[in-house]
């Protein structure tokens, strides 16, 4: 395991020891990859890149287990050429991502930091009223909820938003998920009509910078944008400008184009930082989600060993 720290404390590492001789590294730098993989048959990686240079230098490598769903850190063409199996784990994080998406949305919509601080600063204790209406907020019921990316997570988002009484419309970034029971629209229409927009699609050539300044200018000034997909789908400089100009009400990001980000990222310099919530790519990472991920890795390895034997 090349980067165990990305999974935190999970019980699955104990079960992995039953499948073979296990070596666990907290993290692995690019220059350490070949030395650590050389002579090994199975490698588990979350974000460590395994490219052609590594595969050619490590002829005993037969299985790459990705501790994630995306395979973009593996040279898949080279793996196929060399007969190296590549196995990911799909669907493990759906409930975690959905929960975090709505947590971020309600944090912003309900102005929770403001009201929490209002009480803790002593203002409420000095008030003559039982309530305080300093920051008006809206209900999700009756609002238009726009979803970009209608895969497994997008569909679950639609179910939960519907339970809150929202009207659902979505834009399929692939054009394939059109038989969902919800209203499919073009991107521009979704941007113009939605009160909440959440992103749940992968980063591809087609979705890179999908939301730029031109798209922000189409949105409602009261709209809240949530990105729980991938960094790079939103142009971060354009988002900073849109927030400063009041093009949208607020934004929540769990993903950034570069992770960890540069301190010079324009999002860290917006004039009203309370309009922006950023979490460090944790939507996927509930305790239950990480255990499901490890269970999937164990199954992939067990399946491989059974076929090999």
252-297 confidence digits (pLDDT tens)? 999 999 999 999 999 999 999 999 999 999 999 999 999 999 999 9
Domain ranges of the chain: 4-91+287-308, 94-278
Q: What is the pTM of this model?
A: 0.92
pLDDT (0 to 100) of residue 195: 98
Cβ–Cβ < 8 Å for 219, 88: no
**CA 85, CA 101: separation in Å to the nearest integer?**
33
Look at domain 4-91+287-308 and name its CATH class. Answer: alpha beta
Question: Would you say the CATH fold of 94-278 matches that of 4-91+287-308?
Answer: yes
Edge-to-edge strand ranges of the sheet holding 250-253: 183-184, 167-171, 144-148, 196-199, 224-227, 250-253, 276-278
Closest by Cα among 67, 50, 61, 68 to 83: 61
**CA 299, CA 116: separation in Å to the nearest integer?**
45
So what's the architecture of 94-278 in CATH? 3-Layer(aba) Sandwich (3.40)
Weakly modelled stretches of the chain, pLDDT under 70: 308-309
Cβ–Cβ < 8 Å for 126, 118: no
pLDDT (0 to 100) of residue 247: 97
What are the catalytic residues? 230, 259, 281
User: 293: phi > 0 → left, psi -120 to 50 → alpha, else beta; which?
Assistant: alpha
Q: Which residues of 70-80 are buried (b: 16+ CB within 10 A; e: fewer)?
A: eeeebbeebbe
**CA 240, CA 246: separation in Å to the nearest integer?**
10
Total number of residues shown for the chain: 309
pLDDT (0 to 100) of residue 308: 60
Closest by Cα among 279, 267, 280, 226 to 250: 226
pLDDT (0 to 100) of residue 309: 54
Edge-to-edge strand ranges of the sheet holding 85-87: 42-45, 63-66, 85-87
């Amino acid at each position: 395991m090349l980067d165990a720290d990305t999974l935190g404390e999970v019980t699955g590492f104990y079960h992995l020891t039953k499948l073979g001789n296990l070596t666990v590294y907290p993290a692995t730098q690019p220059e350490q990859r070949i030395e650590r993989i050389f002579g090994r048959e199975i490698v588990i990686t979350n974000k460590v890149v395994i490219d052609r240079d590594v595969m050619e230098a490590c002829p005993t490598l037969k299985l790459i287990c990705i501790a994630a769903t995306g395979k973009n850190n593996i040279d898949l063409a080279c793996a196929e050429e060399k007969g190296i199996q590549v196995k990911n784990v799909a669907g493990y994080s759906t409930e975690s991502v959905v929960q975090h998406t709505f947590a971020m949305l309600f944090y912003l919509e309900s102005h929770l930091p403001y009201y929490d601080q209002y009480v803790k600063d002593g203002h409420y204790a000095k008030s003559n009223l039982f309530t305080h209406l300093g920051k008006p907020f809206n209900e999700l019921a009756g609002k238009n909820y726009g979803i970009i990316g209608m895969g497994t997570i997008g569909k679950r988002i639609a179910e939960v938003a519907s339970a809150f009484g929202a009207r659902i419309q979505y834009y399929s970034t692939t054009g394939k998920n059109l038989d969902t029971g919800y209203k499919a629209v073009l991107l521009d229409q979704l941007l113009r009509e939605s009160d909440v927009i959440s992103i749940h699609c992968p980063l591809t050539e087609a979705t890179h910078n999908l939301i730029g300044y031109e798209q922000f200018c189409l949105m409602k000034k009261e709209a809240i944008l949530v990105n729980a997909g991938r960094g790079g789908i939103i142009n971060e400089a354009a988002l900073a400008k849109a927030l400063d100009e009041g093009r949208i009400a607020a934004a929540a990001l769990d993903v950034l184009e570069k992770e960890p980000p540069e301190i010079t990222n324009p999002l860290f310099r917006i004039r009203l930082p309370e309009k922006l919530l950023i979490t460090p790519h944790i939507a996927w990472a509930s305790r239950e989600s990480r255990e499901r991920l490890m269970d999937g890795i164990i199954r992939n390895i067990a399946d491989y060993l059974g076929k090999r034997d």
